[in-house]
Structure 1
Amino acid sequence: MNIVPVQFARLAAALAGALLLWPATASAQVGADLNVSPKRVVFGPAGRSATVYVFNQGDAPATYSVALVDRVMLDSGEIIAIEDAQKNPAKAQAAAGVKSAKALITYTPRRVTLAPKTSQLVRLRVLRPGDLAAGEYRTHLTVTAVPPEDTGVTAEQAAGGLQPGEMQVRVVALFSLSIPVIVRQGPEDIRGSVENLSYEVRDVASPEGGAPRKTGFVSLDLARLGANSLYGDVEVRGGAKNEIIGGVRGIGVYPEVARRRVTLQLQTLPRPGDVLTVNLKDDEVRPGAPIATGRLTVP
Structure 2
Amino acid sequence: MINKDRKDSLYYIQVFKYLLFFVFISTVISPTAAQGNLLIYPKRLVFEGRNNIEKLILSNTGKDSAVYNISFIEYRMNETGDLKIISKAEAGLNSASSHVRFFPRKVILGPYESQKIKVQVRNTQSLEDGEYRSHLYFRAEEDEGALRKKSLTKKTTMSVKLKAVFGVSIPCILRKGINTTKVSISDLELIQLPKLENVLQFNLKRTGNMSAYGDFIIKYITPNNKVYEVAKMQGVGVYTPGNFRTLKVKLQKPDKLSFNKGAFKIIFTANESKKILAEARLML
User: What is the CA RMSD across the aligned residues, in angstroms?
Assistant: 2.5
CA distance in 1, matches of 2:155, 2:130: 54
Offset of residue 7 of structure 1: 6.5
Offset of residue 253 of structure 1: 0.5
Which of 197, 206, 220 aligns to 1:224? It is: 206
CA distance in 2, matches of 1:101, 1:142: 13
1:246 is the counterpart of 2:228:
no
1:196-211 mapped onto 2 (5 Å cutoff): 196-203=187-194
CA distance in 2, matches of 1:157, 1:289: 62
1:117-128 mapped onto 2 (5 Å cutoff): 117-128=112-123
Offset of residue 109 of structure 1: 0.2
Offset of residue 254 of structure 1: 0.4
Cα 1:155/1:191, change in 2 over 3 Å: farther
Cα deviations by residue, 1:2-53 (Å, 9 ceiling, x for unpaired): 99xx767xxxxxxxxxxxxxxxxxxxxxxx2011110100011322100011
Offset of residue 170 of structure 1: 2.0
Which of 95, 101, 105 aligns to 2:96? It is: 101
Instruction: Please name the residue that 2:54 is paired with.
Output: 50
Cα deviations by residue, 1:224-263 (Å, 9 ceiling, x for unpaired): 1222111111111113322211121111000121101100
1:57-206 mapped onto 2 (5 Å cutoff): 57-83=61-87, 95-149=90-144, 150=147, 157-158=157-158, 169-203=160-194
Instruction: Please name the residue that 2:264 is paired with.
Output: 276
Identity %: 27
Letter in 1 for 2:54: A
Give secondary structure in 2 for the equivalent of 1:170.
coil
Give secondary structure in 2 for the equivalent of 1:246.
strand
CA distance in 1, matches of 2:229, 2:218: 6
Offset of residue 156 of structure 1: 5.3
Give secondary structure in 1 for the equivalent of 2:165.
strand
Work out whether residues 2 and 179 of structure 1, in 8 Å CA contact, stay in contact via their aligned partners in 2: no
Compare 128-137 and 176-185 and name the one that shifted more. 128-137
Q: Report the number of matched residues.
A: 244
CA distance in 2, matches of 1:262, 1:273: 22
Work out whether residues 202 and 247 of structure 2, in 8 Å CA contact, stay in contact via their aligned partners in 1: yes
Which of 39, 44, 47 aligns to 1:40? It is: 44
Cα 1:113/1:295, change in 2 over 3 Å: same
Cα 1:234/1:187, change in 2 over 3 Å: same
CA distance in 1, matches of 2:96, 2:275: 27
CA distance in 2, matches of 1:7, 1:38: 10
Offset of residue 271 of structure 1: 2.9
Cα deviations by residue, 1:114-141 (Å, 9 ceiling, x for unpaired): 1111111110111133221000001111
Work out whether residues 231 and 250 of structure 2, in 8 Å CA contact, stay in contact via their aligned partners in 1: yes
Letter in 2 for 1:72: R
Which of 210, 216, 233 aligns to 1:234? It is: 216
1:289 is the counterpart of 2:270:
no
CA distance in 2, matches of 1:134, 1:173: 41
Work out whether residues 267 and 279 of structure 2, in 8 Å CA contact, stay in contact via their aligned partners in 1: yes
Offset of residue 97 of structure 1: 2.5
CA distance in 2, matches of 1:51, 1:2: 21
**More contact order relative to length (CA 8 Å, sep ≥ 6):** 1
Offset of residue 157 of structure 1: 4.9
Cα 1:237/1:156, change in 2 over 3 Å: same
TM-score normalised over the length of structure 2: 0.79
Give secondary structure in 2 for the equivalent of 1:103.
helix
CA distance in 2, matches of 1:271, 1:178: 38
Work out whether residues 2 and 40 of structure 1, in 8 Å CA contact, stay in contact via their aligned partners in 2: no
Letter in 1 for 2:281: R
CA distance in 2, matches of 1:2, 1:288: 15
Runs (5+) with no aligned partner, structure 1: 9-31, 87-91, 159-167, 204-212
Letter in 2 for 1:51: K
Work out whether residues 200 and 216 of structure 1, in 8 Å CA contact, stay in contact via their aligned partners in 2: yes
> Structure 1: which 4+ aligned runs deviate by more than 3 Å?
151-158
